Each structure stands twice: as C-alpha cells, then as structure tokens.
Chains A and B, each alone.
Chain A
Amino acid sequence: MKRKHNIGYYLIKYKVFLIFAVLFIVMAVTSDFFLTKANLFNMLRQLSINGLLAVGMTFVLITGGIDLSIGAVLTFSAMVGCSFIRNDSPYPVIVCILVTIAIGITIGFINGVVIAKGNVPAFIVTLGTQLMASGGALLFNNGSPIPGLKDSYNTIGAGNILGIPLPIIIFLVVLLVGVLILKRTRFGRYTYAVGGNNLAAEACGINAAVVKIKVYVIAGLCAAIAGIVLSSRVKTATPLAGDGYELDAIAAVVLGGTSLSGGVGSMWGTVVGVLIIGLLNNGMDLLNVQSYFQDIIQGLIIVLAVFIDVNTNKKQR
C-alpha cells in the first residue's frame, strides 16, 4: 500500500533545503557577484573545512554522543604534521599526511575508549581533549605558526582537478564515503541502532562500545583531513586555526535534521546544513555585513531553522 504525497508533504519534509533555497535566491538577487563561478568555487572551498568536520560529527551525534575536540584536533594534528614539511625538511609529503592523520585517529581513539569503556560523558571527555589539544598546539611551536611549507604540500589546498579546486573534491570524496558507510554498511546501521537504543543493540549481539569508539575515530580522522586541507590552503599551520570549528560543525549537523539525542540523522541533511552555514558566511561577506553582526545573524538563523524544523515535525494531537 503506497500513499501518494502532495507537494505540501515534501515541502515539510525537506524544509531545511527550502531554507537553503530561499537564502540562495536572496543572495542571487541582492549581489551581482554571488552567482559568478569564482565566488561559488570560493564559497565551496571555504565550506569544505566545515563539511569535512561535519561528516565525522554526523556519525558521533547519531550515536547520541558529541565531540567538542575536533576543532582543536584539526589545529594540533596540522601543527605537528606540518613540522615535517617545512621547506628545509627532508621528508616527503606523505609523511606529513600520515603523521597528521595518525594524530587525529589517536585522539579520536582515546576519546572513544574513555567514553565507551570508561563511561565518562562524551561532553566532558571531549572538552578535556579539546583543552589538551589546544594547549599542545600552542606549546608545540611556542605559540608561533609554522609557515614556509613545501609547494608540493600547498598544492593540496590550492590545486585544481579539471578546474575544480582540490579541497572541494576532497570534501566530496569524504562525504560520499561517509554516505556509503552510514547507509550501506553494517557499521552504519549499528551507529543508528546504538543511538536509538543502546541496550537493545547490545541484546542483538552488537558490541556497542566498539561502535562508539569507531565513530570518535572517524571524527578524529575527519578533523585531521580538515587540518591538512586548511593548512595547505593558507600555506601555514597556525596554533589557533580550528578554534571553535566544532561548534560550526555541530550547528551544520543539527540544521540537517540529526537529533542531538541520537538515533536519527542523515548525511545529506548534514550537507544542506553545511551549505546553509557556508552560504551565510559568504553572503554576509559579499553584502559587507560587519563581522560582529555576522555572528549575531548566524546564531539567530541556526536557532530559527531548528525551531522551524522541530515544530513542524511535531505529531498532531
């Protein structure tokens, strides 16, 4: 028995996308420069960092957890990794990449183990690792950035393939892998099951602790990739690079309809959330909105969007 849905049904179901569409049209009308290829690519390149973080965050939030450390992990892993790729260092690019990724995965693993095996709330554990990673990033080079990276490394952030900037391609690849894992693999299904009902998942023979550890590893990995993309794009690793980025990622994921209490969410929703935040930043820059105002408006729109989302999903009594 299939029910036919009217247009109203789809409007309600995909309202976050509608919000994006409205913002997009508003920008296209108010700014001549907005729809140019240069600007759109620029916008996508900028939002690819938040996009990478949000892919990892989606997994974490679906299990009902949270990861406040990813911004700091981005910074710390890039600082250490980039110390291997200064102009005068003997190592090839791959060493820097592997070191960065290894750090991201390690911190994610520590987060996961303490949360899943040590039963410490995720908020506290990742707040702790956030502080430690930020401190470590500052300590690593006495608070100074690491500039003068090899050109071969900088290509990652500045290069193109078929005219498309590499950061965008990296984001798309990670996103598609994320979609595949979440929707099509056993682990992805277990992610939803653990977030939906941890006890029931365990009674089905699922090792919930392992699932949780894996999602924090994924979040750490995504943060490290974002660290590589960001440092190679600005050709410098700076010790405050990812400050507060975790909150943008959480905002994007929640905008995309993922529930903070776990069990519900989708990667495509996250993409729309990332697009909305990216569009807001880009649009307000184009319209010369003062940066203090930008924060206020962005905060307002995030709360408003989730308010609309939550209140139109309510079951009628």
Chain B
Amino acid sequence: MSEILLEMKGIVKEFSGIRVLKEVPFTLKNGTVHALMGENGAGKSTLMKILNGTYLKDQGEIYIKGESVDIKNTSAAKKYGIAMIHQELSPFLDLSVASNMFMGREFLKNGTNLIDENKMNSECIKIFEGMKIEIPPKAIMRDLSVAQMQLVEIAKAVSTDAEIIIMDEPTSAITEEEVGKLFKVIDDLRNEGKGIIYISHKMDEIYQIADEITVMRDGTYVGCDSTKNLTYDQLISMMVGRSLDQQFHKTFHKPGEVLIEVKNLTRKEEFRNISFEVRSGEILGIAGLMGAGRTEIVETIFGLRKKDEGEILIEGKAVTINCPKDAIEKGVAFVSEDRKSIGLNLIGSIKENITLANLRKYCSLGTFIHMKEERETSDEYIKKLAIKTESRNKLTGELSGGNQQKVVIARWLSTNPKVMILDEPTRGIDVGAKAEIYKLMDDFAAQGNCVIMVSSEMPEILGMSDRVIVIHDGKITGSFYAKEATQEKILTAASGI
C-alpha cells in the first residue's frame, strides 16, 4: 500500500554563487507523515520552496508518482498536487472564511461573472464536515484564532486535491489543545493516503506525529529513518553534528539581594495581584498557557503597558515606570516575544540595532554620535555573542532567526541592565543557537544580575529556572523551586485545575 509519492534526487541550489543545497535527496511515501528536521539555515525551507515552486532548482530531478516533473512556479506546484502551509499565514483578514477558501477559484453564477456566495458557503461547509472541523464559512478571517486560520489553510489544500502537504512549523503559535485538534486532522489526512511533510523544531511533537524523519545539516542530507528507530539523542546529534550532552547550560549561583520586586501588579481584564521577587544570580521562569497574561505582565513591568494598580521596586526602592525609557534608566531590559514587530529594525544594520537603546552613551553633548566608539562597541558584541555576519553593516533582516535574537540580546546587554526580561527567548531558533542563548542567560545571572524568562517550552522552563511561577487566567496559580518543579505540577497549575 505504501508507495512512493514524491522523490527528489540530487537537488542543488545556489544563491549568488554560494551552494545552499548540496545534492539533497528526499523521499515521501503516501499515507505517512515525514518530519524534515535540522537547525535553522540547514536548508529545509529552501528545499521545500523548490518543491512548491517558489525557487527554481539549479540541478536535480523531482518525480511525483514515478513521473519526472518540472516545477516552474507555484501554480505548477499546485497542479502537481503540492500545497504548502506557511509558518506565517497570510490570509485575507477582512474577507470571509469561504472567500479565503475559494480565493482565485470562486464559484460563479451560471453564465455571469457574479460570485455565487451561497454555493461557496455550502461547499465550504461540506469540506469542513469531511475534516470534522467546525468553522462558520461566513465568519470574518480576522475573528478566528491562529489555529483556526491554519485549519482553513489546510482545508483549502485538501479541497484542491493536494496529495503532498507541506507544513512549516504549524504549531509555533497555537495552544496545546489546538495542537491536539491539528494532529487529529493530520492523522485523518494520513489515513486517506496523503503525504505530509512536517517541519518543526519541537522534538516531542515529532515523536508524536511523524512516521519517518529526514535530517539535514548545512545544506546536506544527513540521514533518513523511521521515527521508532531513532532515539532523541541520536536525532540531536544528527542535527548538530555533535552530541549535546547538556543542552541547557545552567549553573547555580547563590541568590543575593532582591533586585526586583513586584507587588500586587494589576491590569484589569489582563492580570490581577501579581507579586514576586527575583534576587541577583537567579533566573525566574514564568510558565503558563498562551493567553494566560504572561506577556502582558512583563510588558507592564517594562512600561509598554500602563499598570492599574501595584508597585515595582528595584533594589529595594519603589520606582515609577511609565514608558520603556523609565525602565531602561532603572536597569531593566526586555527581549520581546516577537523580535520582528517590536524587537528589531529589520531594514537597519546590526550596528544600529545594537546601539539603539543606549545611543546617548556614545554621544557627546547627548547629540553627536562618536562613530568610532559605536563601531567598536558593536564589533565587541558581535564577537562576544558570536553573531554570524561578515560585517556590522549587514541588515538585521538578512540574518537567521538565531542571529537576530542575538542582536536583540546584544542591544540589551550593552545597556548594562540589572534585570533582563526575556519573553519566549528561543522561539523559532535552532538547537545550536538555543544553547548559546541559554549560556548567555546563565552568564548574565552569574554576574550578579537576574533574569525573568517567560516561556511556553516546558524543557526550557525546567532546564533554566531557579524558581518557576505559573500563571493561569491572569493569576499566579503555582510557585516552585527548581528542585521540586515537575512537568506535571506546572501543567496542573497552568490549566488552573
């Protein structure tokens, strides 16, 4: 029953003379979920973009059901039954679900150019029923959750008779409950005999859903095997080319004086009576489900949101923080959850991004920038944090996710903070860069500072925190020391049971 649906052979791709894919093979059988793994920059996305017609391959062959095909563009890919669900969805937010579903292939009233809304809505319901999901076809896309948008996107792929469905990090922005629903849909698709290529950094998901795994590293094919034959450690060492004995670089530092204390912090509708303290040398983990109010809490501490009630004390003194500038002056730094929207200026250089929060320091009379000092500082941080770039003048938008995150961290380290707040510090970052960022956090705490880390990744919370607080529905529902914290306890507190 299991026949080969797709075979890619010796795929080569070059960008301005640099070979980013070196004769990569890839084979997908029907009725399977095939995980494609590797660090960021390993070439997974490039390979998939060749498959869906976004890029043209320089060498190699692609066979679908044994027939050689030439995928010239994305519409050719669609014709061959290939659909890709991108990591960052780009639906038409103000149009209805049905309009999105049939975009570009609308039903028309007989003999006219007028759109047949009724037919589109009823066809939409039929497709959803087939997938056992419930989304009203007339709903406006903007009102859906990210997970629902994803399901619409998958339904669209299914309705175009796609046989090869590529999913790029589909769970990066949805809750665990929604992941369950998504996996059920994926499971049904597998049973119908479709081939699913699943890109993800999340190990537990891979073991839950994938039948086979192909690993890539630095643009080359490393290996392919069925999931049950690969242990976690084997998989990691295939991806990074070395075995990571300890992914989490965490050392214990004796807690010193209290650096930051939050008392009864409240923002009506978002969170209530949040109190905690963090001492020098400590890393405080803030766990909880998406939407529990964690980001809102740390953004309020940093002055991006205004508190309704409560107090913030830094090194024992009550401080007023009305805007980020106040927080920066008090020695608080904030690495945001979404580095693209409120972190980096992607069309600015690495240098400009590193010095932006502390530019006054490199200025005489508070006005004129000392170019040399600025260059030296940015070079120092590029070196210290091992940011991979040929020049400090490279645009941050051209860097990989891990290196972008390092630029943000470099910026905040350069302000000499006492308190570093990191919101989802390793989201969308590959294993190697993750380990480097953990080490940076640990080093920072070791120097007598403290870290507040918001994270949805359980291993990260357990591996890096000295203490963990858990937020559910805007309230603290659990507080643990590292040695007593377990996944079960945290999950129980996070779901508010």
Contact = CB atoms under 8 A, between A and B. Distances in A.
A220 B383 CA distance: 44
B356 A201 contact: yes
B390 to A, nearest CB: 5
19 contacts: A1-B390, A184-B369, A184-B371, A185-B368, A186-B359, A187-B367, A189-B359, A193-B345, A197-B344, A197-B348, A200-B344, A203-B304, A203-B334, A203-B336, A205-B325, A205-B357, A206-B356, A263-B347, A316-B16
Interface in B332-372: 334, 336, 341-348, 352, 356-357, 359-360, 363, 366-369, 371
Interface string A159-202: 00000000000000000000000001111011011001101111
A204 B369 contact: no
Contacts of B327: 205
A204 B359 CA distance: 10
Contacts of B54: 317
Given A203-B343, A204-B411, A186 B352 contact: no
B342 A199 contact: yes
Nearest to B359: A186
Q: Which of A186, A187, A197 has the most CB of B within 10 A?
A: A197
A186 B367 CA distance: 5
User: Top 6 closest A-B pairs, CB basis?
Assistant: A196-B345, A205-B325, A204-B357, A199-B342, A197-B345, A263-B347
A203 B251 CA distance: 30
Contacts of A5: none
Given A200-B342, A316-B16, A317-B56, A185 B334 contact: no
Contacts of A184: 368-369, 371
Contacts of A263: 345, 347-348
Contact of B346 (A187, A196, A206): A196
A4 interface: no
Interface of B: 15-16, 54-56, 302, 304, 323-325, 327-329, 334, 336, 341-348, 352, 356-357, 359-360, 363, 366-369, 371, 390-391, 411
A189 B323 CA distance: 20
A302 interface: no
Contacts of A197: 341-342, 344-348
A264 B395 CA distance: 11
A205 B324 contact: yes
Contacts of B16: 316
B356 A186 contact: no
A111 B391 CA distance: 39
A39 interface: no
Nearest to A194: B345
Nearest to B369: A184
Interface string A11-29: 0000000000000000000
A3 B368 CA distance: 30
A41 B479 CA distance: 77
Contacts of B324: 202-205
Contacts of A203: 302, 304, 324, 334, 336, 342-343
A114 to B, nearest CB: 21
Interface string A53-76: 000000000000000000000000
B14 to A, nearest CB: 10
A144 interface: no
Contact of A192 (B343, B348, B390): B348
Which of A3, A192, A264 is most buried by chain B, counting CB atoms within 10 A of its CB?
Answer: A192
Interface string A263-284: 1100000000000000000000
Given A205-B325, A207-B325, A316-B16, A189 B342 contact: no
A1 B346 CA distance: 22
B439 to A, nearest CB: 25
B207 to A, nearest CB: 35
Nearest to A188: B369
B390 A186 contact: no
A196 B397 CA distance: 11
A181 to B, nearest CB: 9
Contacts of B347: 196-197, 263-264
A200 to B, nearest CB: 5
Given A205-B357, A263-B348, A185 B55 contact: no
B251 to A, nearest CB: 30
A193 B15 CA distance: 29
Contacts of B328: 204-205
Nearest to B412: A204
Contacts of A196: 345-348
